[in-house]
Chain A
């Protein structure tokens, strides 16, 4: 249902020298099958989120094609991709002054009727019904806004759902039900699901685990066979820049 063909995302290494280029995504080829649950993982800075954003059209591909249901969508806008059934759940969802969760749900579903919206919220199950008229602003906690983000994505009934780190800010007790929810959506609605995550719960739930390192897909398959490689990647591979405390993310 979704095919990445020789996809690159290239940026200048620095503002000063725009000729010196870096491939953030470096020639990715992959086919996602309808109704399957994929988990994309890999070290920080490996290109996981970038790849997800290329699929949604948030970043433009520098080279290559993205074929979705038989059409090359690489030149499509975000809006066109959304209308074609692709939904994206952001790691750090936008906050709005004066826009309520109800309005976001209405934009996502086209439904204004309150009872229908409450029905959707009950089905998704992750947000209390009292969330409906909350403003999606800075007053929400990280967990609350993530739950709204997830519910909005599921409510849109996408054919392809992309979740970027869906467990960010979510309490430990909600992660299990969240994984079950995404699995259920994939199974019942044949939603092709791509989750970018480091969380073992999502990796265990996935039909296929994809490991990205330095902008390339270095593995795809079951979790068991992925484990040795994941252990290798979890050690710091950038020793030069790792010495100082300015790059603390290497010490994991």
Chain B
């Protein structure tokens, strides 16, 4: 059922050696390839047949669901709308990811639109990796959107990673936080050649005691370009922090625009942003431990994007 290429893509985007344990839904070239549900996690095709609805029962503990997408069909642009309904007090890990293999000059792309309704006190960890490979010259595009609604006391930790090979990415992350909820987003993007990546983040801290921390790590190699927008809109007594660091290698370019809006006198918002080459004291330190210049650069970038 899974060919060698499928397996390689799945391994890269979802750390899977074959089919996962627990619930999963694997989509290949715009169609369902394989699905499994569990006692607590249900997966159904949505009403207009454009994606899936994943429902996690209230109180579910320590379960995971894998929903990788793989593309290897020339000329295909696959758009999918997935919804996640996470019941109250549930604790779940969702592993998404998209691997594109492009073997021709035809473009290939994927737009995953994911919305999350996270119930009261539920905790969700969402891991999403994007990767593209292949010798073909066709452009590989990934335009993911995540929309997160956190109910009172809910927590979401989102790890969004774009590893390599994606020519064009336009990401949108939106979140609305109710009282005492917590959102942690860590985004890591590596671009090379003439690739471009834009990430737009709009986080609304609506409820009292809500907290959000957005961390962005960007590395631009070659002539690639990345643009990062992040807005924290504080509408209550809350805490928000944006940390965006970009490392420029070769002739890469970067624009970073963190934006803080305090609409409440007790809002606490902070941001730190940096753009620059690898610090020379870091290189010198690692070389003084015996690494060559190139090994030191690799080690620093690996750590930065870890």
Give chain A's interface residues, CB within 8 Å of chain B.
Answer: 56, 58, 77-79, 82-83, 87-88, 90, 92-99, 103-104, 107-108, 152, 156
Q: Which residues from chain A contact B292 at a C-beta distance below 8 Å?
A: 77, 79
Closest to B300 in A: A96
| Pairs A-B, 7 closest by C-beta atoms | A98-B303, A99-B303, A94-B281, A94-B285, A78-B287, A82-B290, A94-B282
The answer to the question of B26 belonging to the interface, with a C-beta cut-off of 8 Å to chain A, is: no
Partner of A107, one of B284, B291, B306: B291
Q: Which residues from chain B contact A108 at a C-beta distance below 8 Å?
A: 289-290
In angstroms, how far is the closest chain A Cβ from the Cβ of B91?
A: 24
In angstroms, how far is the closest chain B Cβ from the Cβ of A46?
A: 22
CB of A98 within 8 A of CB of B305, answer yes
Known: A56-B288, A99-B300, A104-B289. 15 other contacts (CB 8 A): A79-B291, A82-B289, A82-B290, A94-B281, A94-B284, A96-B300, A96-B304, A97-B245, A98-B302, A98-B304, A98-B305, A99-B299, A103-B299, A108-B290, A152-B289
Closest to A100 in B: B303
In angstroms, how far is the closest chain A Cβ from the Cβ of B243?
A: 9
Query: Helix, strand, loop or mixed for chain B's interface?
Result: helix
Partner of B290, one of A79, A90, A95, A99: A79
Please report the C-alpha to C-alpha distance between residue A79 and residue B305 in the assembled complex, in whole angstroms.
24
Closest to B274 in A: A97
Closest to A108 in B: B289
Question: What 1/0 mask marks residues of chain B from 266 to 306 whose CB sits below 8 Å from any chain A CB?
Answer: 00000000000001011011111111110000011011111
Please report the C-alpha to C-alpha distance between residue A88 and residue B282 in the assembled complex, in whole angstroms.
13
**Interface CB pairs A-B, < 8 A, 26:** A58-B284, A79-B287, A82-B288, A82-B289, A82-B290, A83-B290, A88-B288, A90-B281, A90-B288, A94-B279, A94-B281, A94-B282, A96-B282, A96-B304, A98-B217, A98-B302, A98-B303, A98-B304, A98-B305, A99-B299, A99-B300, A99-B303, A103-B303, A104-B289, A107-B289, A108-B289
In angstroms, how far is the closest chain B Cβ from the Cβ of A75?
A: 15
Partner of B304, one of A93, A97, A103: A97
In angstroms, how far is the closest chain B Cβ from the Cβ of A25?
A: 18
Q: Which residues from chain A contact B284 at a C-beta distance below 8 Å?
A: 58, 78, 94
Please report the C-alpha to C-alpha distance between residue A78 and residue B288 in the assembled complex, in whole angstroms.
6
In angstroms, how far is the closest chain B Cβ from the Cβ of A57?
A: 9
Please report the C-alpha to C-alpha distance between residue A79 and residue B293 in the assembled complex, in whole angstroms.
8
CB of A98 within 8 A of CB of B306, answer yes
Closest to A53 in B: B284
CB of B304 within 8 A of CB of A156, answer no
CB of A107 within 8 A of CB of B299, answer yes
Q: Which residues from chain B contact A77 at a C-beta distance below 8 Å?
A: 287, 292-293
Please report the C-alpha to C-alpha distance between residue A202 and residue B285 in the assembled complex, in whole angstroms.
24
In angstroms, how far is the closest chain A Cβ from the Cβ of B108?
A: 31
Closest to A97 in B: B304
Please report the C-alpha to C-alpha distance between residue A99 and residue B291 in the assembled complex, in whole angstroms.
15
Closest to B215 in A: A97
Please report the C-alpha to C-alpha distance between residue A108 and residue B299 in the assembled complex, in whole angstroms.
13
Please report the C-alpha to C-alpha distance between residue A244 and residue B155 in the assembled complex, in whole angstroms.
56
Q: Which of A79, A90, A95, A152 has most B Cβ within 10 Å?
A: A79
Q: Which residues from chain A contact B287 at a C-beta distance below 8 Å?
A: 77-79, 82
Q: Which residues from chain A contact B306 at a C-beta distance below 8 Å?
A: 98
Q: Which of A87, A95, A97 has most B Cβ within 10 Å?
A: A97
In angstroms, how far is the closest chain B Cβ from the Cβ of A220?
A: 26
Partner of B286, one of A56, A97, A107, A156: A107
In angstroms, how far is the closest chain B Cβ from the Cβ of A66?
A: 16
Q: Which residues from chain B contact A56 at a C-beta distance below 8 Å?
A: 288
Q: Which residues from chain B contact A156 at a C-beta distance below 8 Å?
A: 289-290
Please report the C-alpha to C-alpha distance between residue A94 and residue B287 in the assembled complex, in whole angstroms.
12
Please report the C-alpha to C-alpha distance between residue A58 and residue B280 in the assembled complex, in whole angstroms.
11
Please report the C-alpha to C-alpha distance between residue A191 and residue B17 in the assembled complex, in whole angstroms.
49
Question: What 1/0 mask marks residues of chain B from 95 to 132 whose CB sits below 8 Å from any chain A CB?
Answer: 00000000000000000000000000000000000000
Q: Which residues from chain B contact A90 at a C-beta distance below 8 Å?
A: 281, 285, 288
Please report the C-alpha to C-alpha distance between residue A77 and residue B245 in the assembled complex, in whole angstroms.
30
